Amino acid sequence: MRIFNSRLQISAYCITATLLLHAMPCMADADTNLAVNATVTASPCALVATPEVDLGAYTSSNLTTAGSTTTRVPFKVDLEKCPSTSTTVTLTLGGTTDPVYTQYYKNTGTSTNVVIDVVNDADGKALNPGTSTKINIDAKTHTASFPMKAQMVSPQGGATSGTVTGQMELTFFYG
Q: What is the pLDDT of residues 13-36, one digit of tens each?
A: 343 444 444 545 555 556 777 788
Which residues share a beta bridge with 88?
Answer: 136
The candidate with the shortest Cα–Cα distance to 113, out of 81, 160, 147, 150, is: 160
Per-residue model confidence (pLDDT) at position 13: 38
The phi-psi region of residue 79 (left if phi > 0; otherwise alpha if psi is between -120 and 50; otherwise beta) is beta
76 CB-near residues (< 8 Å, 6+ apart):
51, 121, 145, 146, 147, 148
Query: Of 95, 80, 92, whose CA–CA distance to 172 is shortest?
Result: 92
Residue 126, SS3? strand
User: Domain 46-174 is classified in which CATH homologous superfamily?
Assistant: Fimbrial-type adhesion domain (2.60.40.1090)
For residue 91, CA distances in Å to 63, 95, 105, 121 come to 31, 13, 16, 14
How many angstroms separate the CA atoms of 123 and 110, rounded?
A: 32
Indicate the pLDDT class of residue 41, thresholds 50, 70 and 90.
confident
Give yes or no for a contact between 103 and 111, defined as CB atoms under 8 angstroms apart: no
Whether the full predicted model's pTM is greater than 0.85, yes or no, is: no
For residue 1, name the pLDDT band (cuts at 50, 70, 90): very low
Q: 160: closest CA among 68, 69, 61, 56?
A: 61
